Amino acid sequence: MGSETFNPTENPLRAGLRMGRSPEPCTMVIFGATGDLTSRKLVPALYNLARERRLAAGFSVVGFARRDWSDEHFREVLLNGINAYSRSGAAETALWENFAQGVSYHRSDFSDHDGYARLAQRLDAIDVERGAGGNRVFYLATPPDAYAEIIQQLGAHGLARSPNGGWTRIIVEKPFGRDLGSAQELNRQLLAVFDEDQIYRIDHYLGKETVQNILVFRFANGIFEPIWSRRYIDHVQITVSESIGVEDRGGYYDQSGALRDMIQNHLMQLLALVAMEPPVSYDANAVRDEKVKVLRAIRPIAPEAVNEFTVRGQYDTGSIMGKPISSYRSERGVAPDSQTETYAALKLFIESWRWAGVPFYLRSGKALPRRVSEIAIQFRSAPLMLFDDLPTNEVEPNTLAIKIQPDEGITLKFSSKAPGQTSQIRPVTMDFRYGSSFGVASPEAYERLLLDSLIGDGTLFTRRDEVEASWSLMTPILQGWAAEAPRNFPNYEAGVWGPLEADDFMARDGRIWRRL
Ligand code: BG6
């Protein structure tokens, strides 16, 4: 492109990255504020935003929950949370005291009318005292069975619209439904009270730096896009493995499983970012239009076809890094004969001109040997091998690995001549690592997402049609699985890479899972 046509101030991608953005003053009401998410993730993220002077002076937090806590006790719990979980370490006294001035606790049941009437008065008072200008964000951090009640109560008390020309937004935590029907129902409940552009459905994977970098990598570089298609790509593997079991979340997880907990949201979002067409601009709706198009182009897996296109597993007793792990079925909150999958793998095909015939293999599981999230693009092999009669299939194919965590970065593997008198070929890698290239720690996903919600940028949040498109792919799989109980659960030891069936699943296609 000639330089006369390139105006960096108009470059949509650059404009979209929106450096140095700062939100208006506002009040964030966190429903379910006594829960883990608030003290582990939300408030440490807000504190770090305050530390980086990203929050307006009048920013306030109101914790809404059932327990009989005082403002002081709430603040103390939040401070302990920052000290324990903030990436910037223990809270700085002056900064915390300033932040804490805007923090208060509101005791109420989620179904108590009076609690919402008092909340409305309180928010009006905060508008005056702290200059919040009627700007409000409601954060649903409760168990999902409370969402409908809270949404309806906010509507009934006139809290979905702001006074004084301010704005009101609502952030909805996952899980967003447990199948297509329940996700559609939750969307209906939300849209009866809020407009779509007020609704921020959170998927914390989209807040990770490395995930945001997928679009920059693809669309701010000229060399990858031409080869990003069926012509050059053999297949794609998306892995999100965890080396922990379900820990203290057995009660929730046993009702959920790997497909609902990880694949429907996080892995499908990664797939959408890797496979989407270039958007017309880096604008919330343009990006989401392309993501939803690619999700809709995925060929659904019919319930009868689950054995061909999916694998499920559940971990048994084992050990990870020398630490004994008890079986999933013996975890607290888990049924002793549970049929819930703690591992799932899928093969998906995107029926588009770019991707026809290219399998996307997705896998995610708990109690695996390592915590790794990565997307690997495996390219087709060279068509002929010139060197010493070496058959093509003995040379490893080129692979581009986008490493989301840990060891954030991007690696390209290619073949190289080993030094010496023969044509020995060995795989080598070119590595980009965030740590060494930038030398600064990345913000936590929640920092980015909370800031975006305060600014009103929905690009990294999931739109109604995306959530429904993803659930419409998962629901027939869940139905197929429900129709045939797994006969061999538990079928992998904690500390191995999932059930043997997962290897056979790849072997049937003449492929192997990446060793991570
Ligand atoms: C959550 C799941 O959404 O993501 C958890 O509910 C999982 O089960 C977590 O452990 C993984 O997130 P991260 O950021 O640690 O990869």
User: Does residue 425 form part of some domain?
Assistant: no
- 127 Cβ inside 6 Å of ligand 1: no
Q: Which of 5, 8, 1, 69 is nearest to 39 (CA)?
A: 69
Q: Which of 128, 155, 173 is the last residue of a domain?
A: 173
pLDDT tier, 18 (very low <50, low <70, confident <90, very high otherwise): very low
Q: Are residues 163 and 28 in the same domain?
A: yes
pLDDT tier, 391 (very low <50, low <70, confident <90, very high otherwise): low
Average pLDDT of the segment spanning 274-300:
97
Q: Are residues 212 and 168 in the same domain?
A: no
User: Does residue 235 form part of some domain?
Assistant: yes
Q: Are residues 289 and 147 in the same domain?
A: no
Q: Are residues 313 and 235 in the same domain?
A: yes
Q: Are residues 165 and 285 in the same domain?
A: no
User: Does residue 178 form part of some domain?
Assistant: no
User: Does residue 261 form part of some domain?
Assistant: yes
Instruction: State the catalytic residues.
Output: 266
- 203 Cβ inside 6 Å of ligand 1: no
Q: Taking the CB of residue 367, how many other CB atoms lie within 10 A of it?
A: 31
- Across the chain, which distance is largest between two alpha carbons, in Å? 84
User: Does residue 283 form part of some domain?
Assistant: yes
Q: Are residues 99 and 159 in the same domain?
A: yes
CB 241 within 8 A of CB 365: yes
The CATH number of whichever domain residue 379 belongs to comes to 3.30.360.10
Arithmetic mean of pLDDT over the chain:
93
Range of the domain at 472: 206-384+439-444+463-507
Nearest CA to ligand 1 atom 8: 261
User: Does residue 201 form part of some domain?
Assistant: no
Ligand 1, pocket-test mutation among 262, 265, 448, most atoms within 8 A of CB: 262
Measured in Å, how far apart are the chain's first and last C-alpha atoms? 39
Q: Are residues 211 and 163 in the same domain?
A: no
Q: How many domains does the chain have?
A: 2
Can you tell me which atom of ligand 1 is nearest the CA of 244? 10
DSSP string, 384-417: ---STT--GGGSPPPEEEEEEESS-EEEEEEEEE
Q: Which of 325, 314, 318, 225 is nearest to 275 (CA)?
A: 225
Q: For the segment 474-484, what is each residue's pLDDT rounded down to a tens digit?
A: 999 999 999 99
The CATH number of whichever domain residue 107 belongs to comes to 3.40.50.720
User: Does residue 478 form part of some domain?
Assistant: yes
Q: For the segment 131-180, what is each residue's pLDDT rounded down to a tens digit?
A: 999 999 999 999 999 999 999 999 999 999 988 789 999 999 999 999 99
Q: Which of 124, 156, 173 is the last residue of a domain?
A: 173
pLDDT tier, 241 (very low <50, low <70, confident <90, very high otherwise): very high
- Cα 3 to Cα 6, 288, 357: the distances in Å are 5, 30, 38
Q: Are residues 300 and 374 in the same domain?
A: yes
- 408 Cβ inside 6 Å of ligand 1: no
User: Does residue 186 form part of some domain?
Assistant: no
DSSP string, 290-328: HHHHHHHTBPP--GGGHHHHEEEE-EESEEETTEEE--G
Q: Is the pLDDT of residue 19 over 60?
A: no
What pLDDT, on the 0 to 100 scale, is given for residue 20? Answer: 56
- 209 Cβ inside 6 Å of ligand 1: no
Q: Are residues 169 and 227 in the same domain?
A: no
Nearest CA to ligand 1 atom 5: 261
Q: Are residues 162 and 211 in the same domain?
A: no
Q: Are residues 219 and 156 in the same domain?
A: no
Token look-up 């997307």 returns 375
d(CA 483, CA 492): 22
Q: Are residues 154 and 223 in the same domain?
A: no
- φ and ψ at residue 267, rounded to 5 degrees: -70, -35
